[in-house]
Amino acid sequence: MKKYYIETYGCQMNVYDSELVAGILNGEGYEATAYPEEADLLLINTCSVREHAEDKVHSRLGEFSHFKQENPDVLIGVIGCMAQNLKKKLIQKKPYVNFIIGPDGYRHLPLILEEAPRKKHIVDTKLSRFEVYDELFPARNEGINAWISIMRGCDKFCSYCIVPYTRGRERSRSLESVVNEARQVIAQGFREITLLGQNVNSYRHEKHRFPDLLKAVAEVDGVTRLRYTSPHPQDADQALFDVHRDYYPVVCNHIHLPVQSGADAVLQAMNRSYSRDHYLRLVEQIRESIPDVAISTDMIVGFPGEKVQDFEDTLNLMEKVRFDAAFMFKYSERPGTKAALLADDVSEEEKDRRLQAMIALQREHTLAQNQRHIGKEESILVEGFSRKTKAEMMGRTTHNKIVIFPAKDYQPKQLIHRSISDARGVTLFAMED
């Protein structure tokens, strides 16, 4: 039996796509291996969202080429956003790569594998307006959370972002096929589902919008927890917050709502299509509608033209919102995007300074928000032993916060209730019953 090895970089959509590809390969009689040195097929699922992600893949491909030097029959394939973004350039620089497949080409994999040994290179990077990979079943590793992709692509064209170019136009799966997949993963033993899309809440299929889909999946028997990522503030509205309120605790008490910047001039240059005030009003509306909700975000520092005052405005927005968590990034110029036409005029040192100041402030906010849980009973979905010691176990609250507690004979996927006793760093702690 031929063996394949897949390494995945980037976002959760890539993790899902790797599972799709694994499903296709298993169907072709291949077997997965965790050891690249014994694989006949090496795949690397790549990300283009920041330059750093691309650099990592380039160096990893160099390492893969050694396996091929030892065994010339080994096939190397690059899939995902870098394949789409760099196309033939990638093969010119890395001639040992046998094929590259963009995010809409995975169905062609069996044919490509058949042809690859006879061809020098194969490039399949045609984007589709329709491909949503319905009727293909991802090979999921056993676990707690199952990802289900509900829509692909993005039409928002934020000026810094490569995704609309690498993943093409927005398209949604039917509500029925998503609900069927939800039933299937529950039957396989998953307890939590996360609905995935570049822009989940612009989901639209026939008369169904995102809140309808969220409700339909929440009503599937056996779904203990339901999450989704990532929504865009422009399409977030009361109908969505109502589903949170009405379907709690199945729909988790957590909204990840990327803000990117707290300065209107920057938001406008980013083509984010909302103002600082609009975002703050949304946060107010969310907190009025959903008691005890956790809000997390994404932010970028050092966007072209970001003045010190703009950055201060972002810190000020953080003070107003007090996010529970945030992913924070230095702006990375992506050739081909609108923002790449602007001068990348914030120096690397200044980007570093802003990022460090932002991280420090966010740490304070995370801790303060976590301390609010002390003394409260939280439901915790057990994941397993803590990374440090078998004397402790870890799980997550509905807010997606990690809790550490003394180990007992709990099983992964068990839902337990504990009073939170402490908050340190970004972690919550609970005592024995």
Tokens 């790569």 found at: 97
| Alpha carbon separation from 305 to 106, 227, 260 (Å, rounded) | 39, 35, 14
Instruction: Report the run of H or E that residue 212 belongs to, with start and end.
Output: helix 210-218
- Total residues at interface with ligand SF4 (CB under 6 A): 10
Nearer to ligand SF4, 85 or 199 (CB): 199
| Alpha carbon separation from 151 to 199, 233, 325, 412 (Å, rounded) | 8, 17, 25, 30
Residue span binding ligand SF4 (CB under 6 A) among the ranges 97-105, 151-159, 326-334, 411-419? 151-159
CB neighbour list of residue 361: distance below 8 Å, 6 or more residues apart: 315, 318, 319
Using CA of residue 327, residue 328, residue 330, residue 335, what is the dihedral sign?
positive
Report the SS3 class of residue 226.
Answer: strand
Fill in the per-residue mask, 45 to 84: x = in contact with ligand 5AD (CB under 6 A), - = not in contact: ----xx----------------------------------
Among 199, 296, 314, 370, binds ligand SF4 (CB under 6 A): 199
- Are 132 and 171 spatial neighbours (Cβ–Cβ below 8 Å)? yes
In angstroms, give the least distance from the CB of 290 to ligand 5AD.
22
Among 60, 107, 108, 156, binds ligand SF4 (CB under 6 A): 156
Residue span binding ligand SF4 (CB under 6 A) among the ranges 102-110, 154-162, 204-212, 397-405? 154-162
Distance CA 363, CA 368 (A): 9
In angstroms, give the least distance from the CB of 279 to ligand 5AD.
14
Among 97, 163, 346, 394, binds ligand SF4 (CB under 6 A): 163
Tokens 């040992």 found at: 96
Contacts with ligand 5AD in 153-192 (CB under 6 A)? 160-161
**232 lies in the site for ligand SF4, by CB under 6 A:** yes
Binding interface with ligand 5AD (CB under 6 A): 49-50, 160-161, 258, 260, 298, 300, 329, 331-332, 334
Residues that bind ligand SF4 (CB under 6 A): 154, 156-158, 161, 163-164, 198-199, 232
